[in-house]
Amino acid sequence: MSSAKQNQFDKPRLNELFDDLNATLKDFIRKHQVTYEEFHRGLAFLTEVGEKGETPLLFDVFLESTIDVVNNRERGGTATAVEGPFYLKDMPEMKSPCVLPHRADEPGNVLIFSGTVRSTDGNLLAGAIVDYWQADAEGNYSHFNIPKEKAPFNLRARVKSDDKGRFEIQTWVPSSYEIPKGGPTGALVKALGRHAWRPAHLHALVQHPGCEDLMTQIFIQGDQWIDSDVVGAVKESLIAGLVKRDDSAEISKRGLKQPFYTLEFDFVLPRGMMKAA
Ligand code: BEZ
Ligand code: FE
Protein backbone atom coordinates (compact mmCIF):
# COMPACT_ATOMS: atom_id res chain seq x y z
CA MET A 1 0.00 0.00 0.00
CA SER A 2 1.37 3.46 -0.88
CA SER A 3 2.10 5.72 2.09
CA ALA A 4 -0.48 8.27 0.83
CA LYS A 5 -3.16 5.55 0.79
CA GLN A 6 -2.11 4.32 4.24
CA ASN A 7 -2.32 7.87 5.63
CA GLN A 8 -5.89 8.17 4.35
CA PHE A 9 -6.89 5.13 6.43
CA ASP A 10 -5.03 6.41 9.50
CA LYS A 11 -6.81 9.76 9.44
CA PRO A 12 -10.33 9.29 8.02
CA ARG A 13 -11.72 12.36 9.82
CA LEU A 14 -8.95 14.62 8.47
CA ASN A 15 -9.54 13.29 4.96
CA GLU A 16 -13.31 13.74 5.23
CA LEU A 17 -13.00 17.33 6.50
CA PHE A 18 -10.24 18.39 4.12
CA ASP A 19 -11.86 16.88 1.03
CA ASP A 20 -15.20 18.54 1.78
CA LEU A 21 -13.60 21.90 2.59
CA ASN A 22 -11.56 21.75 -0.61
CA ALA A 23 -14.60 20.76 -2.69
CA THR A 24 -16.65 23.54 -1.07
CA LEU A 25 -13.99 26.12 -1.88
CA LYS A 26 -13.73 24.89 -5.48
CA ASP A 27 -17.53 25.11 -5.84
CA PHE A 28 -17.31 28.65 -4.43
CA ILE A 29 -14.63 29.60 -7.02
CA ARG A 30 -16.76 28.22 -9.86
CA LYS A 31 -20.00 29.76 -8.53
CA HIS A 32 -18.51 33.25 -8.23
CA GLN A 33 -16.04 32.93 -11.14
CA VAL A 34 -13.28 34.16 -8.80
CA THR A 35 -10.64 36.15 -10.71
CA TYR A 36 -6.84 35.89 -10.32
CA GLU A 37 -6.90 39.37 -8.80
CA GLU A 38 -9.40 38.27 -6.14
CA PHE A 39 -7.44 35.05 -5.53
CA HIS A 40 -4.23 37.04 -4.89
CA ARG A 41 -6.10 39.57 -2.73
CA GLY A 42 -7.39 36.69 -0.56
CA LEU A 43 -3.87 35.25 -0.26
CA ALA A 44 -2.45 38.65 0.76
CA PHE A 45 -5.25 39.06 3.34
CA LEU A 46 -4.61 35.66 4.96
CA THR A 47 -0.84 36.29 4.95
CA GLU A 48 -1.36 39.59 6.76
CA VAL A 49 -3.75 37.95 9.26
CA GLY A 50 -0.99 35.44 10.12
CA GLU A 51 1.78 38.06 10.26
CA LYS A 52 -0.23 40.31 12.58
CA GLY A 53 -1.17 37.39 14.87
CA GLU A 54 -4.88 37.82 14.13
CA THR A 55 -5.74 34.24 13.16
CA PRO A 56 -7.60 33.56 16.48
CA LEU A 57 -9.42 36.89 16.19
CA LEU A 58 -10.53 36.27 12.59
CA PHE A 59 -11.81 32.76 13.36
CA ASP A 60 -13.51 33.87 16.59
CA VAL A 61 -15.27 36.82 14.96
CA PHE A 62 -16.60 34.96 11.93
CA LEU A 63 -16.83 31.27 12.85
CA GLU A 64 -16.78 30.54 16.60
CA SER A 65 -20.48 31.23 17.25
CA THR A 66 -21.37 28.47 14.77
CA ILE A 67 -18.82 26.08 16.36
CA ASP A 68 -20.52 26.85 19.70
CA VAL A 69 -24.01 26.06 18.39
CA VAL A 70 -22.93 22.84 16.62
CA ASN A 71 -21.05 21.53 19.65
CA ASN A 72 -23.63 22.37 22.32
CA ARG A 73 -26.92 21.53 20.61
CA GLU A 74 -28.04 18.79 23.00
CA ARG A 75 -26.72 20.37 26.18
CA GLY A 76 -28.76 21.13 29.32
CA GLY A 77 -28.13 23.82 31.95
CA THR A 78 -26.96 27.37 31.29
CA ALA A 79 -26.53 28.21 27.60
CA THR A 80 -22.96 28.32 26.32
CA ALA A 81 -21.32 31.19 24.43
CA VAL A 82 -18.05 31.69 22.57
CA GLU A 83 -14.71 31.88 24.39
CA GLY A 84 -13.23 34.53 22.08
CA PRO A 85 -9.52 35.41 21.88
CA PHE A 86 -9.00 37.15 25.26
CA TYR A 87 -8.99 34.27 27.76
CA LEU A 88 -5.83 33.74 29.83
CA LYS A 89 -4.85 30.57 31.63
CA ASP A 90 -3.26 30.83 35.07
CA MET A 91 -5.30 33.75 36.34
CA PRO A 92 -4.92 34.42 40.09
CA GLU A 93 -7.00 32.15 42.35
CA MET A 94 -9.42 33.85 44.74
CA LYS A 95 -12.06 32.66 47.17
CA SER A 96 -15.57 34.07 47.10
CA PRO A 97 -16.37 36.80 48.07
CA CYS A 98 -13.52 38.67 46.39
CA VAL A 99 -12.46 41.94 44.77
CA LEU A 100 -10.82 41.41 41.37
CA PRO A 101 -7.32 42.76 40.68
CA HIS A 102 -7.81 46.38 39.57
CA ARG A 103 -6.01 49.71 39.18
CA ALA A 104 -6.10 52.39 41.88
CA ASP A 105 -7.93 54.61 39.40
CA GLU A 106 -10.08 51.89 37.81
CA PRO A 107 -12.59 53.80 35.62
CA GLY A 108 -16.36 53.37 35.77
CA ASN A 109 -18.81 51.96 38.32
CA VAL A 110 -18.34 49.12 40.76
CA LEU A 111 -20.30 45.96 39.93
CA ILE A 112 -21.07 43.14 42.34
CA PHE A 113 -21.60 40.00 40.24
CA SER A 114 -23.04 37.17 42.31
CA GLY A 115 -25.06 33.98 42.14
CA THR A 116 -24.86 30.24 42.63
CA VAL A 117 -23.31 27.33 40.79
CA ARG A 118 -25.40 24.17 40.69
CA SER A 119 -25.76 21.01 38.63
CA THR A 120 -28.74 20.14 36.41
CA ASP A 121 -29.93 17.73 39.13
CA GLY A 122 -30.31 20.68 41.49
CA ASN A 123 -27.28 20.28 43.79
CA LEU A 124 -25.42 23.43 44.80
CA LEU A 125 -21.75 23.03 43.91
CA ALA A 126 -19.25 24.10 46.57
CA GLY A 127 -15.69 24.60 45.32
CA ALA A 128 -16.71 25.24 41.72
CA ILE A 129 -14.22 27.39 39.80
CA VAL A 130 -15.55 30.46 38.01
CA ASP A 131 -12.77 31.50 35.64
CA TYR A 132 -13.75 35.11 35.08
CA TRP A 133 -12.62 37.83 32.64
CA GLN A 134 -14.06 40.99 31.08
CA ALA A 135 -13.22 44.26 29.34
CA ASP A 136 -12.94 47.34 31.57
CA ALA A 137 -15.27 50.36 31.50
CA GLU A 138 -13.37 51.69 28.46
CA GLY A 139 -13.63 48.44 26.49
CA ASN A 140 -10.06 47.23 27.12
CA TYR A 141 -8.90 43.70 28.04
CA SER A 142 -5.91 43.39 30.35
CA HIS A 143 -2.76 41.87 28.77
CA PHE A 144 -4.20 42.70 25.32
CA ASN A 145 -5.10 46.42 25.20
CA ILE A 146 -3.75 47.18 28.71
CA PRO A 147 -0.09 46.10 29.07
CA LYS A 148 0.47 43.30 31.60
CA GLU A 149 3.14 45.34 33.43
CA LYS A 150 0.69 48.21 33.97
CA ALA A 151 -2.12 46.12 35.43
CA PRO A 152 -1.44 42.40 35.83
CA PHE A 153 -4.62 40.30 35.45
CA ASN A 154 -6.80 43.40 35.66
CA LEU A 155 -10.46 42.35 36.16
CA ARG A 156 -9.60 38.67 35.89
CA ALA A 157 -9.48 35.77 38.37
CA ARG A 158 -10.30 32.12 39.06
CA VAL A 159 -12.92 32.40 41.80
CA LYS A 160 -13.90 29.43 43.97
CA SER A 161 -17.55 29.16 45.05
CA ASP A 162 -18.16 28.93 48.83
CA ASP A 163 -19.50 25.92 50.74
CA LYS A 164 -23.08 26.81 49.70
CA GLY A 165 -22.15 27.03 46.02
CA ARG A 166 -22.35 30.84 46.03
CA PHE A 167 -19.95 33.26 44.44
CA GLU A 168 -19.64 37.02 44.80
CA ILE A 169 -17.18 38.96 42.67
CA GLN A 170 -16.54 42.69 43.01
CA THR A 171 -15.57 44.08 39.63
CA TRP A 172 -16.32 47.16 37.47
CA VAL A 173 -19.19 47.48 34.97
CA PRO A 174 -17.78 46.55 31.53
CA SER A 175 -18.60 48.58 28.46
CA SER A 176 -19.38 47.54 24.93
CA TYR A 177 -16.28 47.54 22.75
CA GLU A 178 -15.14 47.32 19.16
CA ILE A 179 -13.07 44.35 18.08
CA PRO A 180 -9.51 45.52 17.22
CA LYS A 181 -9.77 47.76 14.16
CA GLY A 182 -6.08 48.38 13.44
CA GLY A 183 -5.42 45.08 11.65
CA PRO A 184 -6.78 43.05 8.73
CA THR A 185 -9.83 41.66 10.62
CA GLY A 186 -11.06 45.15 11.46
CA ALA A 187 -10.25 46.30 7.91
CA LEU A 188 -12.41 43.48 6.53
CA VAL A 189 -15.33 44.36 8.84
CA LYS A 190 -15.04 48.00 7.70
CA ALA A 191 -14.78 47.06 4.02
CA LEU A 192 -17.97 45.00 4.44
CA GLY A 193 -19.69 48.14 5.71
CA ARG A 194 -20.44 46.57 9.12
CA HIS A 195 -19.85 47.93 12.60
CA ALA A 196 -17.26 46.27 14.86
CA TRP A 197 -19.11 46.43 18.19
CA ARG A 198 -19.71 43.74 20.77
CA PRO A 199 -22.34 44.45 23.47
CA ALA A 200 -21.04 44.74 27.06
CA HIS A 201 -20.53 41.28 28.54
CA LEU A 202 -18.80 39.23 31.23
CA HIS A 203 -16.99 35.97 30.43
CA ALA A 204 -17.03 32.86 32.60
CA LEU A 205 -15.64 29.35 32.30
CA VAL A 206 -17.32 27.43 35.12
CA GLN A 207 -15.93 24.06 36.19
CA HIS A 208 -16.64 21.41 38.81
CA PRO A 209 -15.52 17.77 38.94
CA GLY A 210 -18.37 15.49 37.86
CA CYS A 211 -19.95 18.17 35.66
CA GLU A 212 -19.35 19.35 32.13
CA ASP A 213 -17.43 22.61 31.79
CA LEU A 214 -19.51 25.66 30.96
CA MET A 215 -17.98 28.33 28.68
CA THR A 216 -20.34 31.28 28.56
CA GLN A 217 -20.91 35.04 28.56
CA ILE A 218 -23.47 37.20 30.37
CA PHE A 219 -24.73 40.14 28.33
CA ILE A 220 -25.90 43.36 29.93
CA GLN A 221 -29.54 44.14 29.22
CA GLY A 222 -30.22 47.41 27.40
CA ASP A 223 -26.86 47.57 25.61
CA GLN A 224 -27.30 49.27 22.23
CA TRP A 225 -25.42 46.50 20.38
CA ILE A 226 -27.29 43.56 21.90
CA ASP A 227 -29.22 42.82 18.68
CA SER A 228 -26.28 43.30 16.32
CA ASP A 229 -23.20 41.77 18.00
CA VAL A 230 -20.44 41.64 15.34
CA VAL A 231 -19.62 38.13 16.60
CA GLY A 232 -23.29 36.98 16.64
CA ALA A 233 -22.87 35.36 20.07
CA VAL A 234 -25.81 36.78 22.07
CA LYS A 235 -28.41 34.29 23.38
CA GLU A 236 -31.63 35.50 24.99
CA SER A 237 -31.20 33.42 28.17
CA LEU A 238 -27.77 35.00 28.78
CA ILE A 239 -29.04 38.59 28.96
CA ALA A 240 -29.25 39.94 32.52
CA GLY A 241 -30.05 43.35 33.98
CA LEU A 242 -27.95 45.56 36.24
CA VAL A 243 -29.57 46.95 39.39
CA LYS A 244 -28.35 50.34 40.67
CA ARG A 245 -27.72 50.51 44.45
CA ASP A 246 -27.73 54.03 45.78
CA ASP A 247 -28.65 53.42 49.42
CA SER A 248 -25.93 55.20 51.43
CA ALA A 249 -25.85 52.55 54.20
CA GLU A 250 -25.32 49.80 51.61
CA ILE A 251 -22.62 51.88 49.89
CA SER A 252 -20.64 52.52 53.05
CA LYS A 253 -21.09 48.91 54.27
CA ARG A 254 -19.08 47.87 51.23
CA GLY A 255 -16.44 50.53 51.83
CA LEU A 256 -17.47 52.38 48.65
CA LYS A 257 -18.00 56.07 48.08
CA GLN A 258 -20.44 56.02 45.17
CA PRO A 259 -23.55 54.11 44.07
CA PHE A 260 -22.73 50.70 42.61
CA TYR A 261 -24.49 48.06 40.52
CA THR A 262 -25.40 44.44 41.13
CA LEU A 263 -25.93 41.59 38.68
CA GLU A 264 -27.29 38.20 39.78
CA PHE A 265 -26.81 35.09 37.66
CA ASP A 266 -27.01 31.39 38.53
CA PHE A 267 -24.82 28.99 36.56
CA VAL A 268 -26.19 25.48 35.94
CA LEU A 269 -23.74 22.76 34.83
CA PRO A 270 -24.81 19.50 33.15
CA ARG A 271 -23.86 16.39 35.12
CA GLY A 272 -21.09 14.64 33.20
CA MET A 273 -18.24 12.17 33.40
CA MET A 274 -16.03 12.33 36.53
CA LYS A 275 -12.84 14.19 35.59
CA ALA A 276 -9.42 13.57 37.05
CA ALA A 277 -8.60 16.18 39.72
C1 BEZ B 1 -14.93 38.48 22.98
O2 BEZ B 1 -15.83 37.99 23.60
O3 BEZ B 1 -14.21 39.21 23.59
C4 BEZ B 1 -14.74 38.16 21.53
C5 BEZ B 1 -15.33 37.02 21.02
C6 BEZ B 1 -15.15 36.72 19.68
C7 BEZ B 1 -14.41 37.55 18.88
C8 BEZ B 1 -13.82 38.70 19.41
C9 BEZ B 1 -14.00 39.01 20.74
FE1 FE C 1 -15.28 39.55 25.37
pLDDT tens digits, 197-250: 999 999 999 999 999 999 999 999 999 999 999 999 999 999 999 999 999 999
- Residue 8's pLDDT is what? 63
Tell how far the Cα of 237 is from the centroid of ligand 1, in angstroms.
Answer: 18
Buried (b) or exposed (e) across 5-38, using 16+ Cβ within 10 A? eeeeeeeeeeeeeeeeeeeeeeeeeeeeeeeeee
Asked if residues 121 and 188 have their Cβ atoms less than 8 Å apart, the reply is no
- Residue 272's pLDDT is what? 84
Give the mean model confidence (pLDDT) for residues 184-196: 97
Give the Å distances, CA to CA, from 136 to 22, 45, 94, 131, 140: 41, 30, 19, 16, 5
- Considering only CA atoms, which of 203, 206, 121, 118 is closest in space to residue 160? 206
Q: At residue 72, what are phi and psi to the nearest 5 degrees?
A: -125, 25
Identify the residues whose C-beta falls under 6 Å from ligand 1. Answer: 60-61, 64, 82, 84-86, 179, 198, 231
Tell how far the Cα of 180 is from the centroid of ligand 2, in angstroms.
Answer: 12
- Considering only CA atoms, which of 100, 96, 98 is closest in space to residue 125? 96
Tell how far the Cα of 231 is from the centroid of ligand 1, in angstroms.
Answer: 7
Which of 54, 59, 62, 86 has most ligand 1 atoms within 8 Å of its beta carbon, as the pocket-test mutant?
86
pLDDT tens digits, 147-171: 999 999 999 999 999 999 999 999 9
191 pLDDT band, cuts 50/70/90, is: very high
- The CA distance from 269 to 205, in Å, is 11
- The CA distance from 105 to 154, in Å, is 12
- The helix (run of H) or strand (run of E) holding residue 66 is helix 64-71
Angle between helices 184-191 and 55-62 (to 10 degrees): 30
Residue closest by Cα to atom 2 of ligand 1: 84
Residue closest by Cα to atom 1 of ligand 1: 84
- The CA distance from 25 to 20, in Å, is 9
